[in-house]
Amino acid sequence: MDEVQLPDCSSAFSTSVFADCQKLIDAHIWPISSASYENWTRQFTSPQEQFFAASVLSCLNVRSRKQFEAGLIALFRGGVSRRLFPNEHDLHLSQLLERGDGSVRLVPVVCDDDPPTKSGPLVMRRLQRLLRCRPSAMVWPWRAVELMDEGKVDTIVFVDDFLGGGTQFEKFFKRWMFDTKLTSASMVYAPVTAHQQGLTHLAGLWPQLHIICGEYLGASHGFFSDEVWSRVGHETVSAQDAATWYEGFANERGIVPRSTGHLGMGSLALTYGFEHSTPNNSLPTLWYKSQSWQPLLER
């Protein structure tokens, strides 16, 4: 692993960031346990490792349950409702779902091997509670296909927490052959948070699919972007320096999941998570768990 020249202020920077993060945890602003934080930070021992850990923490965004639910409500009472019913008030969609109006159905984005605690199903349960949706307004993908074939639904809204590179949603969409039914009903994909890479990918595949998100992430949110390192590099460490050092560190410590590589799915290298889970587009050093590595966040 190559050494990297650190800025003169690196020690003070690391100490300050570690202390500030502990305060965020103690104040319950960050939904991270002190034990997880201590176990994670103590894995970084050298000055270079501690500087890197502090840099990651300084960029970390973790949405608490309350923040996530607020974003979910805003998404469905705002952008999604306005897209579907531009001439109605913002609560129109919520009222339809509360009545169980069959013209609009919510469908969770699920992979065949996903547990019920992941992504789409979890968001569906939150929506049911927050918007008081009738159970009949929410259907599994296979039932949505049947309803479209029977001409019994006008609009399908796909529910998800995160859109990263777009490949997982593409797999889901094709798995249930929604791509062959885009003329059968209006379809909206509504992830709470979406990355530009995924938005571009899906728009290129299916321009008819409307995608509306609550929070937008772009290339500048990648940890190894020039925008990030112009701030945390203190005019000494460049984005390329940091990326090269981290690749060596990840390989040396075995933080390279086969499914994502050392930068996370799609090489997005994000520092983003939710209280309930962390997208695999984030740096694996945050969420990967093995016998030799303890994660900071829940996967």
* Rounded average pLDDT over 57-63: 97
| Cβ–Cβ under 8 Å, residues 122 and 276 | yes
**Residue 201 shares a structural domain with residue 92:** yes
Range of the domain at 72: 65-217
Domains held by the chain: number? 2
Using the structure block, give the residue that is written with the tokens 């969409």: 173
Per-residue pLDDT reduced to its tens digit, 140-186:
999 999 999 999 999 999 999 999 999 999 999 999 999 999 998 99
Which residue, 191, 217, 243, sits at the end of a domain? 217
In which region does residue 60 sit, left (phi positive, over 0), alpha (psi from -120 to 50) or beta (all else)?
A: beta
Closest residue by Cα to residue 217 from 285, 264, 252, 179: 264
What average pLDDT does the chain have?
A: 93
- The verdict on 173 and 244 lying in the same domain is no
Domain finish residue from 217, 240, 256: 217
pLDDT in tens, 85-144: 999 998 889 898 888 888 999 999 987 665 555 677 888 899 999 999 999 999 999 999
Q: Please say whether the beta carbons of 68 and 192 come within 8 A.
A: yes
Whether 119 and 194 map to the same domain: the answer is: yes
How do residues 198-215 score in pLDDT, each as one tens digit? 999 999 999 999 999 999
* Residue matched to tokens 């918007």: 131
Count of beta carbons in the 10 Å neighbourhood of residue 251: 12
- How far apart are alpha carbons 190 and 107 in whole angstroms? 10
pTM for the whole thing?
A: 0.92
Least confident of 37-51, 121-135, 218-232, 267-281: 121-135
**Residue 118: per-residue pLDDT:** 61
Whether residue 213 is found in the same domain as residue 225: no
For residues 30 and 99, membership in a common domain is answered with no
Q: Is 240 exposed, middle or buried (0-12, 13-18, 19+ CB in 10 A)?
A: exposed
- Same-domain check for residues 77 and 212: yes
Judged by DSSP in three states, 47 sits in: helix
| Angstrom distance (rounded) from CA 81 to CA 160 | 16
Q: Are residues 16 and 71 in the same domain?
A: no
Q: Which of 217, 234, 259 is a domain's end point?
A: 217
Q: Residue 261 above 80 pLDDT? A: yes
98 and 53 in a common domain = no
